[in-house]
Structure 1
Amino acid sequence: MLKKLILTVGLLVVLLAAYLALWPVPVRPVAWVAPADPGYAGAFAVNDQLASLNMIDLGHEEGPEHIAVGPDGKLYATVASGNILRMNPDGSAQEVFVNTGGRVLGFDFDAAGNLIAADAVKGLLSVSPAKQTTVLSNRVGGQPIHYADAVVVARGAGAGGKMYFSDASTRFAPAEWGGTFEASVLDILEQAATGRILEYDPATKTTRIVAHGIAFANGVALSTDEKSLFVAETGKYRIWKIDVQARDLNVGAGPGTQASVLLDNLPGYPDNLMRGLDGKIWAGLAKPRNAVIDQMAGKPFVRSMTLRLPRALWPVPKAYGHVFAFSEDGKVLADLQDATGAYPETTGVTETPQRLYVQSLHAKGLGWLKRVPGM
């Protein structure tokens, strides 16, 4: 009996080892060098300024991933159900403005009052004030746009209302991999850096590639003079500054004359970028750094193995609320944190003269703080 038991256990061990080593996984991990985590120090020293959020009840909705004030003065918010909600600034009179049938992650408004949406499933969309939805772009260079994530509309003279948006990953489309969060985990785990920034010109109805080689291209904001784009590279903890005139620029090859790293080695994964008041740009860190994940950066095989483990054993970073504001020259102007992570996956901030609305991937309500001048 003992010999049989030993043989059985040995066989199970062999089968487990074979499973961990050989079972097919969807990623082809690429080795990279993760910078040493500086932790919460300097401009990002630990604080609790995000710990006392006021909450707007969203009913059965959750995950106000992106928030913006429309031309009508109303507050618009995308939520996990796929709805775009519309409400008064105090959260009253909530209604479903539209559901595109996909999953809008980021949006902006053009000069005509149309809501321009980056829909992770359907591409770049325009939703008129009358709620009519039009697909502006879902392909570039003959290839599909897999994961439209964030968008900003140029407003300056001569810009012609050009729209700049991120295609977070050309490898993992949310519609094919279980949703936006699941697809983002696969892309960041793989580190193939297939994300890109695209430009849609409504005058010519054409789409072109501004830059590529980005490890999960996420939030996008324009400089005041609209000559540069600020881009959150979620997978590598940094924010780029890229010339809007760049054409199919490979930022993965490193900084150059048309692209530079504005903020590097952040203490978390940067998400949305939103223009605030007084020249500020707000960023959200959806998750903090994780030592285990950084240690696996140069170990592609180990990263493949993690996908063969039960999801509960994945090294997912803990919840940690964190948003900050920076200037166009990369100086951190404000930093708000909550180590408890009570308001989870903070993706960004929408600043109005009265309030700071805090965006979140999974929160059950919409958090806000009274805006303090000079914050």
Structure 2
Amino acid sequence: MKKAMPGVVALLALGALYLLVWPVPIAPLAWDAPNAPGYTGPHAVNTKLANLQMIDLKGEVGPEHIQFGPDGKLYTTVASGNILRMNADGSDQQVFVNTGGRVLGFDFDAKGNLIAADAMRGLLSIAPDARITLLSENVNGDPIRYADAVVVAKSGKMYLSDASARFAPKDWGGTFEASVLDILEQAATGRILEFDPATRTTRVVAKGISFANGVALSQDEKSLFVNETGKYRVWKIAVTANNLDLGTLAHEPSAQASVLLDNLPGYPDNLMRGLNGKIWLGLAKPRNPTIDKLAQKPWLRSLTLRLPRALWPIPKAYGHVIAFTEDGKVVADLQDPSGAYPETTAVTETNDRLYVQSLHAHGLGWLAAPQ
């Protein structure tokens, strides 16, 4: 035993040295995490999202965004880089195109082109014949590192979230891995961009966002609704804003930007316009008490990345989507505490169905629309 002790001590010392000084890719910043509200009030626990009916995606995974095209077909993006096209019931399923990247969000322009936010490539236009055109991959020479969501205005202008200016999915193992790094760091480098196809120029609408995610336009198209995933909130931002730093505005009134929904019970992901003025939002994961407790402990967040991935404080699976009005009133809340359909990102609403978007599901979930 005595002979073994020096070796044990040396191993313990090496382990401690590793935990203390091994390089990690993040430089965490302290921030003020609000006390989690829990599942109360409009978010009281329910099972309205349980027992979804499923459309088989034939081996594809992660219907991150779902939308009906001008041709009446249902389109969805999946993890393989494919964009699938099918009938509303999932029949006649086919691969419309593979971008060679990972499309997260998309919309259609007035000419029927699919405008895609590709996390690996930037902003793309995909013609009805599947021809791909790169619209924008940088802002004044600064790369778009993590294109996430996009919406097209009637003017033709396109509003795009660039989730992180620090962690590009193509460099850090994929979209999920890059998002974890960005949210752990809390450097708030996400931004909202505007691409004008008339001038082919890209500008920054707003910056200073902790993982800029879902984007939706107001009905009058004067404002953008934007999910700030890393800080559990939704912003309302004037489309006329220019290089507006939201990091300085969270607790100050502004004519150009304000927090519409704050201190949500989970991580807000996509935003989708629904029927009758609703906007659907998906909470991909619930809040994690450990993560909130580490908000003021950046060094411990660094240490987290030196642990095996199985020990990272990744929140549990919990299905949750909500709908709200433009004045911030929650009008629908659907949950599945079992998390059987994982990482719910939003809802695509039709007159008879609610299609549920997901980061990692192995099928396309749907339920009958409430009558």
Check if 1:200 corresponds to 2:195.
yes
1:228 and 1:366 map into 2 onto residues whose CA distance is 31
Matched, 1:259 2:257: yes
Alignment partner, residue 184 of structure 1: 179
The one-letter code of the counterpart of 1:183 is A
Q: Distance in 2 between matches of 1:5 and 1:270?
A: 52
Q: How does 1:251-290 map to 2 (within 5 A)?
A: 251-255=246-250, 256-290=254-288
Between 246-255 and 327-336, the greater mean CA deviation after superposition:
246-255
Q: How does 1:299-338 map to 2 (within 5 A)?
A: 299-338=297-336
Q: Which runs of 5+ in 1 are unaligned?
A: none
Q: Which amino acid aligns with 2:202?
A: T
Determine helix, strand or coil for the equivalent of 2:2. helix
Deviation at 1:8, TM superposition (A): 1.9
Residue 138 (structure 2) aligns with: 139
**What is residue 7 of structure 1 aligned with on the other side?**
6
In the alignment, the residues of structure 2 paired with residue 280 and residue 4 of structure 1 have an alpha-carbon distance, to the nearest angstrom, of 71
Cα deviation for residue 187 of structure 1 reads 0.3
User: Which residue does 1:99 correspond to in 2?
Assistant: 98
Aligned-pair CA distance for 1:176: 0.4
Q: Hey, what does 1:359 align to over in structure 2? A: 357
RMSD: 0.7
Aligned to 1:43: 42
How far 1:62 sits from its partner (Å)? 1.1
**Correspondence for 2:231:** 236
Deviation at 1:141, TM superposition (A): 1.8
Query: Helix, strand or coil: the match of 1:51?
Result: coil
Partner of 2:88: 89
In structure 2, the gaps of 5 or more residues are none
Distance in 2 (CA, whole Å) between partners of 1:234 and 1:63 is 19
Normalised to the residue count of structure 1, the TM-score between the two structures is: 0.97
For this pair of structures, how many residues does the alignment match? Answer: 368
Structure 1 residue 219 and structure 2 residue 218: aligned? Answer: no
Taking the aligned partners of 2:229 and 2:209, their CA distance within structure 1 comes to 9
1:75 alignment partner in structure 2: 74
Aligned residue for 2:182, secondary structure, equals: helix
Which digits, 9 at most, give the CA deviation of each residue in 1:120-149, with x for residues without a partner?
011000000011100000010211100000
Superposition deviation, residue 313 in structure 1? 0.6
Distance 2:289 2:202 in 1: 39
Map of 1:348 onto structure 2 = 346
Counterpart secondary structure, 1:3: coil
Q: SS of 1:135's equivalent?
A: strand
Q: CA deviation at 1:244?
A: 0.4
The 3-state SS of whatever aligns with 2:3 is helix
CA drift of 1:225 comes to 0.4
TM-score (norm 2): 0.98
Supply the distance in 2 between the matched residues of 1:281 and 1:237 (Cα, whole angstroms). Answer: 17
